[in-house]
Structure 1
Amino acid sequence: MNDDENATVLLVDDEPALVSLYSAYLEDRYEVRTATDGEEALSVADGSVDVALVDRRMPGMNGEDVLRELCAAEIDCRVAMLTAVEPTADIVEMPFDDYRTKPVDRPELIGLVEVLIERASYDERSQEFFALASKKAALEIAGETSTTAYETLCDDLESIRTDLDNHLDAVGAEAAFSDLA
C-alpha cells in the first residue's frame, strides 16, 4: 500500500461524466486511473492500485464480476462499491470494503478514499470487521434488516468484535507487564 500522497485510485463507472467528475475530485491528491467498463478496469488494474471505486451496475461485466476478477488476479486493494443500486442482502457475500450509494460529493468521496487507505494498514481481521460493519450500515440505511443474511452478518460482526477485544486485552496485558520480565 502506498502512503496517502502516493496512493493510486481506480475509478470504474459506465457513466463517463461521473468518471470525469470523480477523477477531478481526486486527481489533486492521488494518482487516478479510470475505466468506463469492467474489461477496461481489469486492463488497468495491477498491484499498484490501492483503492478501487466500482459501480455495481454496468453493461457487460458488472461490478460484482469486477470484484471477483480483482480477487482472482490477487490485486490487493481496498474496494468500495459506489453505485446507485440500493443494497440488499446479496451484498453480504461480496468481497468489498465499503458500500456507498450515489450521488456522493467531493468531501464524501475524498473521505471514503482516505478511510480505505487507512484500513489497508490494519490487520486482516480488523479489515474484515470494518467491511462487515460497512455492509451492516448499508443494509440498515436501506431498511434491509429482516433477512437471515443480515442476522448472520450481525453474528459474524459480533464474533469478530469479541476476537478483536480479546486480542487487544491480551496485548494490553503483555505490554503492562513487559517491564517486569
Structure 2
Amino acid sequence: MYKVLIVEDDPMVAMINEQYVCKNKDFCVQKTCRNGQEALEYLEETNGTGSKDSSIDLVIMDVFMPLMNGVETLKKIREKKLDCEVIMVTAANDPATLEETMHLGVIDFLIKPFAYERFQVALEKFIANDQAFRGAQQTIDQNYVDSLISNGGQLHLQNNELPKGIQKKTLDLLTDYLKEKKGWVSGDQISEDVGLSSVTVRHYMSYLVEKGEVNGEINYETGGRPSMLYRFVL
C-alpha cells in the first residue's frame, strides 16, 4: 500500500483530500501537514533515512501555504533528493506555476475545485508511473524508453489492448449511451439506465475522462451529497 502525505493549510480541503485518497484501496494517508516547512521536516525524517518501511511514496500538496509555499517545498524536496512523487492540488491556474511544477517533476496538477473522478485519475497516474519503473529490467532498451516517455510514464498497451478492468463491450455500451444523450447525465442515472453498478460506472467514466472522450463535473445542486455529471465530448 502506498503511503501518502497531504500538505494543505485549509482543514476542510485537507479532509476532502484524505477522504478521496482513502477511497482507493492502494493508498493510505500517513500524515497531514498544514504548511510546506512542516512537510519538509517530516519528509526528512521519513524519507531521509533510506528506510522504505517508513518513507512516504506520494505527496499531495497545495501551492499557496504559510511559511513555505508548495513550489518552494517541491524545490527543497528535489534539492534534498527525498525520494517521493508529488501531485499538486491548488487554486493556482496560471501557466507559470504549472510550467515550474512540471519542470520539477510533478505527477499531476489538479485545479480546485476538482472532481473526485479526476482526483482518482491522478492517483492512477502515480500507480502507472511506479509500476512502469518497477517493471523495468536491470538494463533497458530504446523501445522501453520511448514507450515510457511517450505515454507519460505508462507503457503503451499492445494491439489496442485495454487496461485491466476495462472491457470493450462495456466501454462501447457506455460511450454509445452518452453519445445518444447529447448532454449532461449523472452517474446514478447512467447506472440505472444501462444496468451497471455505480462502482462500475465510476470506474469506466474515470477511464473515459482520462482519455479526454468524456467531460465530468460536480453537481452541487442536489440538495444533499454532490454527484458527478458526465457528457460525451462532441
The TM-score range, normalised by the shorter chain, is 0.5 to 0.7
Partner residue of 1:44? 42
Say whether residues 1:59 and 2:66 are aligned partners. Answer: yes
* Identical-pair percentage: 27
1:118-146 CA distances to partner (integer Å, 9 max, x unpaired)? Answer: 21233596469738xxxxxxxxxxxxxxx
Higher RCO (CA < 8 A, seq sep 6+): 1
SS of 1:121's equivalent in the other structure is helix
Say whether residues 1:113 and 2:123 are aligned partners. Answer: yes
What is the TM-score of this pair, normalised by structure 1? 0.60
Partner residue of 1:14? 9
Counterpart AA for 2:6: L
SS of 1:109's equivalent in the other structure is helix
Q: Shift of residue 62 of structure 1?
A: 0.3
* Structure 1 gaps, min length 5: 1-5, 132-181
| Distance across 1 between alignment mates of 2:150 and 2:6 | 22
Partner residue of 1:100? 110
**Which one has a larger percent helix, Structure 1 or Structure 2?**
1
What aligned pairs does 1:129-168 form with structure 2 within 5 A after superposition? 130=152
1:29-65 CA distances to partner (integer Å, 9 max, x unpaired)? Answer: 3221211111121133233211111111112200011
What aligned pairs does 1:14-33 form with structure 2 within 5 A after superposition? 14-28=9-23, 29=25, 30-32=27-29, 33=31
| Distance across 1 between alignment mates of 2:69 and 2:149 | 24
- Give the superposed CA RMSD: 2.4
**Which one has a larger percent strand, Structure 1 or Structure 2?**
2
1:55-79 CA distances to partner (integer Å, 9 max, x unpaired)? Answer: 1111220001110111122122221
1:22/1:106 contact within 8 Å kept: no
Q: Count matched residues.
A: 126
* Structure 2 gaps, min length 5: 48-54, 137-144, 154-234
| Distance across 1 between alignment mates of 2:122 and 2:129 | 11
Aligned CA distance change for structure 1 residues 113 and 74 (closer, same or farther; 3 Å): same
Partner residue of 2:84? 77
| Distance across 2 between alignment mates of 1:63 and 1:24 | 21
SS of 2:68's equivalent in the other structure is coil
Larger C-alpha radius of gyration, 1 or 2?
A: 2
What is the TM-score of this pair, normalised by structure 2? 0.48
Q: Shift of residue 90 of structure 1?
A: 4.6
